[in-house]
Amino acid sequence: MAAEFCVDSLSNPRPDPKAIEAMLPWYGNPFCPHDLGQRLLPHIEKAEKALYDLVEAPSDTTFVFTSGQSESINQVLSSVTLAKKGPIVSFAHDIAPIIFPLSHLEKEGHRVTLVDKMDSIEQALTDETALLSISSSQPLLGLLHPIRECARACRARNILFHVDVSYSLARDMMLWNDIGADYLTFGGEHIFAPLGTGALFAKKGVPLSPLIFGEGEEELHRGGAFNVPLFIAFGKAAEITALARTGFILEQTRLRDLFEKKLTHAIPDVEILFRDAKRLPHVSVLAFPKIRNELLLFMLNERGVFASMGGGTFQPIEEQLASHPLAQNALTFSLPREIEDIDVLVQTIGDTVESLRPLSEGL
């Protein structure tokens, strides 16, 4: 079987084997008073501490274990709209788990302001604004957002600030005190936990209402059965990420730079977009002049290289690069933690591009 390369780790992060292994021995209901439930509590507390330590959240910060990024974000937005009447501001090209629930809230009559450019966010904030809700990055383009500047602007106007750090937490030092957010969310899969894990951290005193009601689980912040095995795995992934993050960031940057260097040697006319911008260390946006990205993506898939051009009809890369002359020629390559043979990957991409040149003549 020919080698396959998943260079779409934004959408397909692989859980750490140690996190999977950590979850296997545990089952039971920690809310039961008998030993089967109570013996789980020290392990749950250890996992929770690892998550607090990962973001360096203060002990009085409220933590909610959720099913993932989308649920965490929805709970933040729901909590704020129940408590405050002002508009919510966000970035028009932000991630789907923010934009879709905001669209739903707007249909229900809530005021939502979507700003076209990140550098215009501050101008959109007013004394009426209830919440600024953004992601720490624009993952498809690999661009980091000016989170700290947004936090300062919110504090100056006493506006609540939510940031989702899913795509940058393992690859940038996104720590609670540095960010200055009132709410911080992330999906566990992006720190190499299994799918179905998510976190919401809320500063003491900010509005926080349950999205799912139950019998008092998670201190009334989220009802329903507590998934012990997934939570233990989540905590293990947080522990591993916290210990390895600095070295991991350096290694991902080295791997991305090596990938780009080898690819520009193999394909001299390839253009690296945002090379000089502040970007995620594992994301490379490449434009291949005169070759349509849909065709290249299809042919790479046929040869076992899985890249990305965005989420279907929602904000495809052409839309996010609307003003760029090579918007229809660009693909996103988000590298995994390791690539077994980077030379084979580069050669496969190079051969595929060359095979498409005759079809692209005259474009």
Q: Which of 149-158, 319-328, 342-351 has the lowest mean pLDDT?
A: 319-328
Question: Which structure tokens are listed for 224?
Answer: 């329903």
Helix (H, G, I), strand (E, B) or coil at 115: strand
Q: What is the DSSP string of 261-295?
A: HHHHHHSTT-EEETTTS-B-TTEEEEE-TTS-HHH
Q: Which CATH code for domain 17-242?
A: 3.40.640.10
pLDDT score, position 363: 55
The pLDDT confidence band at residue 312, using thresholds 50, 70 and 90, is low
Question: Which structure tokens are listed for 73?
Answer: 């974000």
Question: Which structure tokens are listed for 84?
Answer: 């405050």
Report which DSSP code applies to 218: G
Measured CA to CA, the distance from residue 96 to residue 262 in angstroms comes to: 33
Q: Write out the residue limits of the CATH 3.40.640.10 domain(s) in the chain.
A: 17-242
The CATH fold assigned to 5-12+246-356 is Aspartate Aminotransferase, domain 1 (3.90.1150)
Q: Write out the residue limits of the CATH 3.90.1150.10 domain(s) in the chain.
A: 5-12+246-356
Mean pLDDT over 66-84 rounds to 97
Top pLDDT among 312 and 55 is at: 55
Does this model's pTM top 0.85? My answer is yes
Mean pLDDT over 87-112 rounds to 96
Q: Is 112 left (phi over 0), alpha (psi -120 to 50) or beta?
A: beta
Top pLDDT among 3 and 106 is at: 106
Residue 1 pLDDT greater than 70, yes or no: no
Mean pLDDT over each residue of the chain, to the nearest integer: 93
Helix (H, G, I), strand (E, B) or coil at 140: coil
